[in-house]
Amino acid sequence: MIHLRIVAPEEVAHRALEILEASPAVLNIVHLHGVARKPAGDVILCDVAREEASVILGDLKQLEITHVGSIAVEHVDTALSDAADEAEKAAPGLASDAVVWEEVEQHTSENTELSIGFVLFMVLAMQIGAVGILLDQPILIVGAMVVGPEFGPLAGLSVALVQRRPDFARRSLAALGVGFPAGILMAWLVTLFYKWTGLAPDDFSTAAHDLTGFISNPDFFSFTVAFAAGIVGMLSLTNAKSGALIGVLISVTTIPAASNIGVAAAYGDWDQAGGAAGQLAINLTTIVLAGVLTLYVQRRGFVARRRRHLRERA
């Protein structure tokens, strides 16, 4: 279930009440007249079956409540009510497959910000990856994958392409365009420091490392894994399944490949640097491609459902 808190002027609030009361997927409607102060107006509380949440939110946004008031969306973890069960039955589909598109937009918007924290996470993740490559330690490679925050902007770019949001696209590309070069540069500088201090050998080649050599050797399986990870990542984002997202983070070699570019460049091993760059390009492109295809299919289903809803209202 999804809980809505709506603040709107009195006239708009009454129109919103008509929409909510007409839907069998909405329950626990509470109307508090004139209690809101900033912005001034009425407050409406209600619960909506997750399957119908975006449809109802679309109706409310048509009333321009987001401009004259506000709508807050929260998750209801547990609802013990026969009425709630009936509301979920009245909403077509399954709650586990439902997408609350407003929630997806909000989450991706937050994760596409080019911030100091984002750049630091990228730099630190690639430092871990660089050490893992130098020591040929897969566990450090996995750690770098988990720490890396790059999936947020990749998801944001996928959402931007499907929903035609150039603002999302610009922010996502800015985050990726700054985060990856900054991390690669620092991996290069730190590797030079390791060489200068004797912490790393004078001669090094990732080709001789059996456990981490795959990072700079892209092949068909690189595409396959990245494509599957992109689909799972989008499904975990749209269905709010964070556990699956962790699996995505440790299945693609975006951060390790970027780390390997810096390490190989520090040793002048341009063949390995080129291979790592190819691995990085394959992963980034394929994840976005898979994300766009997944979101497009989900979006088409929602659009068809929204049209049926509007015909029924008419």
Quick: pLDDT tens for 148-197. Answer: 889 889 989 999 999 888 888 999 999 999 999 999 999 999 999 999 98
CA–CA distances in Å: residue 69 to residues 27, 45, 55, 82, 106: 21, 14, 19, 32, 17
Residue 187, φ and ψ in degrees, nearest 5: -60, -40
Give the DSSP letter string of 250-303: TT--HHHHHHHHHHHHHTT-HHHHHHHHHHHHHHHHHHHHHHHHHHHHHHHHHH
Place of tokens 């603040």: 7
Assigned token pair, 73: 């969306």
Widest distance between CA atoms in the chain: 76
Assigned token pair, 253: 């070699």
Domain limits, the chain: 2-98, 105-301
| pLDDT recorded at residue 98 | 76
Buried b (16+ CB within 10 A) or exposed e, 97-130: ebbbbbbbbebbbebbebeeebbebbbebbbbbb
Give the span between the Cα atoms of 82 and 128, in whole angstroms: 51
Give the span between the Cα atoms of 205 and 240, in whole angstroms: 41
Give the span between the Cα atoms of 244 and 235, in whole angstroms: 9
| pLDDT recorded at residue 103 | 83
Give the span between the Cα atoms of 49 and 27, in whole angstroms: 9
Give the DSSP letter string of 125-178: HHHHHHHHHHHT-HHHHHHHHHH--THHHHHHHHHHHHHT-HHHHHHHHHHHHH
CB atoms within 10 A of CB 192: 16
In CATH, which of 1.20.1070, 1.10.1660, 3.30.70, 3.40.50 is domain 2-98? 3.30.70
The segments of the chain whose pLDDT lies below 70 read 95-97, 205-212, 240-251, 313-314
Give the span between the Cα atoms of 10 and 276, in whole angstroms: 60
Torsion over CA of 121, 294, 231 and 127, rounded to 10 degrees?
A: -20
The DSSP call for residue 27 is E
Sheet harboring 26-37: ordered strands across? 26-37, 40-48, 2-8, 70-75
| pLDDT recorded at residue 122 | 94
